[in-house]
Structure 1
Amino acid sequence: MEYVVQQLLNTLSIGGNYALLALGLAIVFSVIGLVNFAYGEVIAVAGYVMFAVFAIGGIEYALVLMPIGVLAAVVISVTLERVAFRPVRYAPAATGLLTAFGVSILIKNFFITIVATRSKSVPTPAWLAHQIDIGIARIQVIQLLETTVTAIALLLLLLILRRTNIGLAMRAAARDFDMVRMVGINANKVIAAAFAVSGFLAGLAAIFIIARRGVVDPFMGFTPVLKAFVAAVLGGFGSLGGAVVGGFLLGALEVFFQLVLPPSIAGYRDAFVFVLVAAILVWRPQGLVGTKRQFGDKDE
């Protein structure tokens, strides 16, 4: 029973990280139809800022300094929206996609040139690796924090979307952006808010990515965002609830295959996961929560 509880907590911590990132991708896509492939670089910016502040302030101030990394992710995300994505907002979708790739390459090469490709070690508090007993299970503090923070972040986002004016405006924009503009809502504020929320989620995810890896490098956000994109598609791209479902399901599949695969082929875990995800999408091309549409359907 202890083993089952341990693996359930692994699923919640890994899936929660994917859910945060998938939600960050989905909330931008739902508002302006942009797949932000520069999202991994937002994580890298947060990582390098945390590396810098730890080097200056010291590890003993970790809980105080980590929010600075989250703030940096919010600032860079909103800045990219204003500088890079707003000028091409009404261009064809391919233009926005190419812009996102261009921004990604630009930021990545900035870090490669200025900081170098070699990983930088980030000291993490020793108490994160401590184990505590909860009932019949013994878990690491980082797992408990990751699961708790993810749950709180998702709950806060739900409250923002349902209880605040800007949240209601973002939900309305996700359904009909032109109508939102016609009723007098400031579209720029709505889109900036979506990017700010997306950056906040990326900053939270960056904290736990660094805590697990112990290093930062220019490519640290690539794999997590790739898997988050898969999770968002699995749940139904553009659906905020689908992004959360897809994130936790992807985490569950990773843990499952890690457990059942023999050690000789355990390194191919991701391949097995993606094959199963592809099979699910063949069955439900719109994703688990997405709405099925036919070619030629008009936007609602």
Structure 2
Amino acid sequence: MLLIQQLINGLQVGSIYAVIALGYTMVYGIIKLINFAHGEVMMMGAYFAFLAAVAGMPIWAVFLISMVLSAILGMVIERVAYKPLRSAPRISSLITAIAMSLFLQNLALFIFKADPKVMPTIIKNNPVTIGSLQISNITIITFLVSVVFMVILTIFISKTKSGKAMRAVSQDTEAAMLMGINVNSTISLTFAIGSALAALGGILYAIAYTQVMPTMGLLPGLKAFVAAVLGGIGIIPGAMIGGFILGFIETLTKAYISSRWADAIVFGILIVVLSVKPTGILGKNIREKV
């Protein structure tokens, strides 16, 4: 019974990682950029939700305001920090992403101070009891939200005009431009969607752990990146699978081994998987002509 309970707990944690990983995978899939500021966008999204909740907004408004403001923040970051470096070596973009991560952390520290804020209760915890098992309704909501957004994102990318433009830019930017696709707008839209998903993950994280602080995005952001790489970065279902696997591994390690070893084992398994299959679980090897 303890195993089943821990798997349920892992489902909640994994769902949060999966939602955040979707944003990582979106950005990398389009412009091959690892946006290490993604965890801090998640943190800012949690603060936006906190301010909306403190103001007494209804739950739908809390989610909407946070995701919209985070989408705007993502587009601003892309225009200011990443757009000027598109033709530069990738290491330049990577260093800029790390710098943007530190900037957002310190900005939040300056505005909101270092003390953790308690997230108001916007979803009441009413556990569902099945025999000796207790499943939190927050766990159920988190899982459903992550799956629903994965499905919506998959349909958006495969069926809509904007989604097809994203796929075209991902495959060949120059050819997409020749076909009349506005590459700048497409990339901005990608950052907006990715940042909105980061905010969603931040809200779910704040609801689950009831605290919001300037450094809260650091570790979940790194683990979401690990989840995206584990599942196959650039592949939407891969991000979900990687998130769930990571959540299960983390909770089972804390329950049966030690909470001190949880992070080490998570990153250790990543090393093992990438040694066997560098492209991740769902990734495919692509040959490049030289």
AA at the equivalent of 1:193: L
Kindly provide the amino acid, as one letter, of the partner of residue 121 in structure 2.
T
> What's 1:138 paired with?
134
SS in 1 for 2:55: helix
Q: Which residue is equivalent to 1:276?
A: 269
How far apart, in 1, do the equivalents of 2:61 and 2:186 lie? 30
1:110 is aligned to 2:103: no
Task: Note the C-alpha offset of 1:173.
Answer: 2.0
CA separation in 2, counterparts of 1:280 and 1:126? Answer: 37
1:101 aligns with one of 89, 98, 101: 98
Query: Where do 1:78-89 residues align within 5 Å?
Result: 78-89=75-86
Indicate how the Cα distance of structure 1 residues 135 and 162 shifts in structure 2: closer, same or farther if over 3 A, else same.
farther
Task: Give the TM-score normalised by structure 1.
Answer: 0.89
- CA drift of 1:3 comes to 5.1
Q: CA deviation at 1:10?
A: 2.5
Give the alignment partner of residue 187 of structure 2, picking from 181, 191, 198.
Answer: 191
Deviation at 1:248, TM superposition (A): 1.6
Aligned 8 A contact 1:233 1:287 in 2: yes
Shift of 1:135: 8.2
| Correspondence for 1:67 among 54, 64, 67 | 64
Task: Name the structure 2 match of 1:45.
Answer: 44
Cα gap change, 1:126 to 1:42, in 2 (>3 Å)? closer
Q: Structure 2 CA distance, aligned partners of 1:86 and 1:77?
A: 12
Quote the Cα distance in structure 1 between the aligned partners of 2:195 and 2:189: 10
The answer as to 2:153 corresponding to 1:180 is no
Q: Which amino acid aligns with 2:235?
A: S
Alignment match, 1:247: 243
Residues 51, 122 of structure 1: 8 Å contact kept: yes
Deviations 1:17-72 (A, max 9, x none): 111111211111111111111111211211222222222226xx334323211212
Compute the displacement of 1:203 (Å). Answer: 1.4
**2:22: which partner in 1?**
23
* 3-state SS of 1:290 partner: coil
Identity of aligned residues (%): 34
Q: 1:243-288 deviations in whole A, cap 9, x for unaligned?
A: 2221122122223323332xxx332122122222211211112211
Letter aligned with residue 265 of structure 2:
F
SS of residue matched to 1:57: coil
CA drift of 1:133 comes to 3.6
Deviating 4+ runs (over 6 angstroms): none
AA of the residue aligned to 1:18:
Y
For residues 152-195 of structure 1, the C-alpha deviation after alignment (integer angstroms, 9 at most, x for no partner) is: 11111111011100111112222222221221111012111111
**Do the aligned partners of residues 241 and 126 (structure 1) sit closer, same or farther apart at CA in structure 2, a change above 3 Å counting?**
closer
User: Please, which runs of 5 or more residues in structure 1 have no aligned partner?
Assistant: none
Provide the rounded CA distance (Å) in 2 between the counterparts of 1:103 and 1:169.
27
Give, in angstroms, the shift of residue 240 of structure 1: 2.7
Q: 1:20–1:244: 8 Å Cα contact kept in structure 2?
A: yes
Q: 1:288 aligns with which of 268, 281, 287?
A: 281
What displacement does 1:4 show?
5.5
1:137, distance to aligned residue in structure 2 (A) = 4.5
Q: Is the 8 A contact 1:45 1:72 kept in 2?
A: no
Q: Matches of 2:211 and 2:202 in 1, distance apart?
A: 11
Tell me if structure 2 keeps the 8 A contact 1:26–1:237. yes
- Where do 5+ consecutive residues of structure 2 fail to align? none
SS of the residue corresponding to residue 138 of structure 1 reads strand
| Secondary structure class of the residue paired with 1:184 | coil
Q: How far off its partner does 1:134 sit?
A: 5.8
SS in 1 for 2:168: helix
Residues 31 and 177 in structure 1, CA contact (< 8 A), matched pair in contact too? no
**Distance verdict in 2 for CA 1:176–1:78, change over 3 Å:** same
Secondary structure, counterpart of 2:22 in structure 1: helix
